[in-house]
């Protein structure tokens, strides 16, 4: 009898140990998920703050560029410089565009893909930026909206949004539209996700607005 009671007591202890282990495992899992969430939030907040705080320095460099200086670096160690200004009046968007579209450049603002031309050079201008900072507004852009690109010489080139689409770079790549001259804005897709960059891109195309083309304010 004593032996049976002892065995039952051992079984009860094992069950309690299992319950405690499962509870501990659940608690550790919850803590781990919270830490991951806080880390992701912190990373996103850091990128967001860095991108927008840099705009003050970029604005100063852009004003120097408009005054006639060339390749004005916004800070001493920068490996890029302003080449244009992007405005979307209907969205209250006003951003300085940098030369090149490397990861380091896009951390601070939209980048001009060097394989493409600038407005007025007879080709398609391609600008790229992150979906969670500077080009997050693209999700709301609609056909017919006006986009203005100002160059270093002060000229403003007007474009009208003509198309928005999602492209899978694994299937189609990022081929430029067949138009003679135009503007393409590219960002990763889908918007507002924590997952790393995938193969999808959100592409907004715009055609020259002849009625307001190449203005020099």
How confident is the model at residue 55, as a pLDDT?
75
Percent of the chain with pLDDT over 90: 55
**Contact (Cβ atoms closer than 8 angstroms) between residue 111 and residue 26:** no
How confident is the model at residue 26, as a pLDDT?
44
How confident is the model at residue 71, as a pLDDT?
96
Q: Provide the CB-side half-sphere exposure for 83 (13 A, CA).
A: 19
**Contact (Cβ atoms closer than 8 angstroms) between residue 166 and residue 138:** no
Average pLDDT for residues 144-156, to the nearest whole number?
97
129 by Cβ neighbours in 10 Å (0-12 / 13-18 / 19+) ranks as: buried
* Every domain of the chain and the residues it spans: 44-212
In angstroms, the CA 123 to CA 90 distance is 25
pLDDT in tens, 160-215: 999 999 988 887 666 655 557 899 999 999 987 766 678 899 999 999 987 655 44
**Contact (Cβ atoms closer than 8 angstroms) between residue 201 and residue 184:** no
Structure tokens at 49: 């703050």
Domain 44-212 classification at class level:
mainly beta
Single out the residue of 91, 102, 113 nearest to residue 161, CA to CA: 91
pTM of the model: 0.73
Average pLDDT for residues 9-29, to the nearest whole number?
51
In angstroms, the CA 36 to CA 175 distance is 37
Structure tokens at 199: 């193969």
How confident is the model at residue 110, as a pLDDT?
96
In angstroms, the CA 94 to CA 156 distance is 13
3-state secondary structure of 129: coil
């Amino acid at each position: 009898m004593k032996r049976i009671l002892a065995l039952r007591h051992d079984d009860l202890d094992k069950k309690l140990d299992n319950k405690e282990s499962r509870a501990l495992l659940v608690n550790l899992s919850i803590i781990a998920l919270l830490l991951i969430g806080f880390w992701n939030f912190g990373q996103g907040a850091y990128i967001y703050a860095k991108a927008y705080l840099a705009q003050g320095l970029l604005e100063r460099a852009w004003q120097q560029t408009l005054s006639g200086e060339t390749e004005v670096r916004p800070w001493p160690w920068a490996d890029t410089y302003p080449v244009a200004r992007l405005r979307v009046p209907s969205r209250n968007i006003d951003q300085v565009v940098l030369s090149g579209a490397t990861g380091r450049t896009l951390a601070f603002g939209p980048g001009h893909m060097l394989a493409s031309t600038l407005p007025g050079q007879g080709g398609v201008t391609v600008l790229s930026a992150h979906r969670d900072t500077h080009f997050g507004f693209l999700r709301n852009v609609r056909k017919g909206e006006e986009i203005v690109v100002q160059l270093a010489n002060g000229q403003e080139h007007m474009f009208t949004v003509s198309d928005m689409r999602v492209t899978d770079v694994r299937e189609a790549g990022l081929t430029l539209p067949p138009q003679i001259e135009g503007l393409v804005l590219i960002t990763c897709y889908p918007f507002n996700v924590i997952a790393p960059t995938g193969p999808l891109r959100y592409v907004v195309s715009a055609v020259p607005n002849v009625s307001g083309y190449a203005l020099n304010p």
